[in-house]
Amino acid sequence: MTAIDTLFPNNPPKLVMFDLDGTLVDSVPDLATAIDAMLHHLDRPAAGVDKVRIWVGNGASTLVKRALADSLHETDLDTVPADVYEEGYKHFLIQYNKVNGEKTTLYPGVIEVLTKLAVDECIVAIVTNKPGRFTDQILNKLGIHFNYVISGDTLDKKKPDPDQLTYCMQEANCTAAETLMIGDSKSDVIAAKAINVPVICVSYGYNHGESIHDASPDAVIDSLIELL
């Protein structure tokens, strides 16, 4: 019995919402390339893949602030001067637009799970904090398609606020009891639990260096293959 079967013993969920980065795709190599190019532009040392992997998860703006704060040997994002952030963010967007999708790869099981959900006639959606143009870029390059795509700039608020999830459920005309969230971070768990949506998390994703078990999702899996 899979984690989905346990949470939905009678019928499969009508709507399955997926986080993108760290859940369906490993996008850190491209993000790190863009971050390091931005830092080089500002005459700051490169951050590298390992640091970027910890920083990812709250949208492009926060990622840039974390990189800039780290280059100042600070942990408080508010220490980054506004003009430095604005220049850095602008340059990051330029660089990420150039490389987005080049080294980004699907995690094992993505195609198989999406195929199975299609057979079960489930509505599938992306709910991500990544800006929309970059989300669409990745989905198009990797050739995966969803009924709904809710990005970080679709609404005023993004995860861990539940607004994106609520909006997606309204668009799909599904209740919390008919919906499942699959993600990789505490932001996914907090957003889902705020509106009583069951949530399954993958153990391999981007959760700021913390164990996803500590966030207490309804289930943790080591591979999407476990959902089959």
Q: CATH code at 37?
A: 1.10.150.240
| 109 and 187 belong to one structural domain | yes
Buried b (16+ CB within 10 A) or exposed e, 44-55: bebbeeebbbbb
Kind and range of the H or E run holding 71: helix 60-71
Domain boundary among 75, 99, 123: 99
Active-site residue list: 19
Q: Which residues make Cβ contacts (< 8 Å) with residue 109, sequence separation at least 6?
A: 223, 224, 225, 226, 227, 228
Give the pLDDT score at 59: 86
β-pair partners for 127: 150
Helix (H, G, I), strand (E, B) or coil at 201: strand
- Cis amide leading into 160 (omega within 30): yes
Residue 55 is predicted with a pLDDT of 95
Per-residue pLDDT, 89: 97
> Looking at the structure, do residues 112 and 201 belong to the same domain, yes or no?
yes
CA distances from 86 to 48, 49, 83, 90, 188 (A): 21, 23, 5, 6, 28
Domain boundary among 99, 118, 149: 99
pLDDT value at position 75? 85
Give the model's pLDDT for residue 57: 84
Check: CB of residue 129 under 8 Å from CB of residue 57: yes
Per-residue pLDDT of the chain (228 residues; tens, 9 = 90+): 899 999 999 999 999 999 999 999 999 999 999 999 999 999 999 999 999 999 998 889 999 999 999 998 888 999 999 999 999 999 999 999 999 999 999 999 999 999 999 999 999 999 999 999 999 999 999 999 999 999 999 999 999 999 999 999 999 999 999 999 999 999 999 999 999 999 999 999 999 899 999 999 999 999 999 999
Count of structural domains, the chain: 2
91 and 160 part of one domain: no
Whether residue 191 sits in one domain with residue 112: yes
